[in-house]
Amino acid sequence: MLWETFLLAGREIRRNVMRSSLTMLGIVIGVAAVITMVTLGSGATEQVTSDISKLGSNLLQVRPGRDMHRPGGARDAGTPFELADSQAISREISGLKAVAPTAGTSIQVIAGNENVSTTVTGTTSEFLIARDWVLSAGRAFTASEVKSGKSVCILGSTVKKTLFDNQNPVGEMIRLQKIPFRIIGVLEEKGQTGFGMDQDDFVIIPLRAFQRRIAGNTEISTIFVSAKDGADTAKIQRDIERLMRDRRRILPGREDDFRVRDMKEIISTLTSTTKVLTALLGAVAGVSLLVGGIGIMNIMLVSVTERTREIGTRLAIGALERDVLTQFLVESVVLSSLGGVIGIILGLSAAYGLAGFLGVPFILNIGIVVIAFLFSGAVGIIFGYFPARKAAQLDPIEALRHE
Partner 1 sequence: MEKTNTLKTPVIEMKGVVKEYGKGQSAMKALRGIDLSIDSGDFVAVMGPSGSGKSTCMNILGCLDTPTSGEYLFEGVDVGKLSRDQRALIRRYYLGFIFQGFNLLNRTSALENVELPLIYRGIPVRERHLRAKDALKSVGLEGWEKHTPGELSGGQQQRVAIARAIVTQPSILLADEPTGNLDSARSREIMDLLTQFNRERGITILMVTHDPHMAGFASSTVQFLDGMIETEEKKGNHH
Q: Residues in the site for partner 1, rule: CB under 8 A? A: 1, 4, 15, 309-310, 312-323, 396-397, 400
For 108, the enclosing helix (H) or strand (E) is: strand 96-111
Name the residue nearer to partner 1 (CB basis): 80 or 396: 396
The whole-angstrom separation of Cα 157 and Cα 236 is 32
CB of 7 to partner 1, least distance (A): 10
Burial category of 286 from C-beta neighbours within 10 Å (exposed 0-12, middle 13-18, buried 19 and up): middle
CA distances from 227 to 125, 141, 233 (A): 16, 21, 7
Neighbours of 249 (CB within 10 A): 7
Residue 307 CB, shortest distance to partner 1, in Å, is 9
| Burial class for 67, CB neighbours closer than 10 Å (0-12, 13-18, 19+) | middle
Kindly list the distances between the CA atom of residue 149 and the CA atoms of 17, 41, 212, 214, 298, in Å, as whole numbers in the listed order.
79, 46, 8, 12, 79
Smallest separation, CB 11 to partner 1 (Å): 8
Strand partners, 115: 110
- Of the pair 67, 323, the CB lying nearest partner 1 is at 323
Nearer to partner 1 (CB atom), residue 238 or residue 401: 401
Closest CA to 215 of 337, 341, 123: 123
What is the helix (H) or strand (E) element at residue 152, kind and residue range?
strand 152-155
Nearer to partner 1, 221 or 327 (CB): 327
The answer to whether residues 153 and 182 touch, using CB atoms and an 8 Å cutoff, is: yes
Q: Which of 295/312 has CB closer to partner 1? A: 312
Considering the complex, state which of residue 70 and residue 309 has its C-beta at the smaller distance from partner 1: 309
Contact between residue 329 and residue 381 where contact means Cβ atoms under 8 Å apart: yes
- Looking at the Cβ atoms of 4 and 255, the one nearer to partner 1 is 4
Residue 68 or 320: which CB sits closer to partner 1?
A: 320
Which is nearer to partner 1, 95 or 396 (by Cβ)?
Answer: 396
Q: Is the torsion defined by CA of 193, 197, 199, 200 positive or negative?
A: positive
Could you give the C-alpha distances from 317 to 158, 320, 402, in angstroms and in order? 81, 9, 16
- How far apart are CB 51 and partner 1 at their closest, in Å? 58
Output the smallest distance, CB 18 to partner 1, in A.
15
CB 21 to partner 1: min, Å = 18
Shortest distance (Å) from residue 394 CB to partner 1:
11
User: Least distance (Å) from partner 1 to the CB of residue 295?
Assistant: 24
| Closest by Cα among 159, 133, 136 to 54 | 133
Taking each helix axis from N to C terminus, what angle separates 321-358 and 17-54, rounded to the nearest 10 degrees? Answer: 40
Q: Least distance (Å) from partner 1 to the CB of residue 195?
A: 58
Query: Smaller CB distance to partner 1: residue 119 or 313?
Result: 313
CB of 323 to partner 1, least distance (A): 7
What's the length of the chain?
403
Strands 222-227 and 59-64 turn out to be: antiparallel
d(CA 181, CA 175): 6
Closest CA to 297 of 388, 219, 360: 388
- DSSP at 72: T
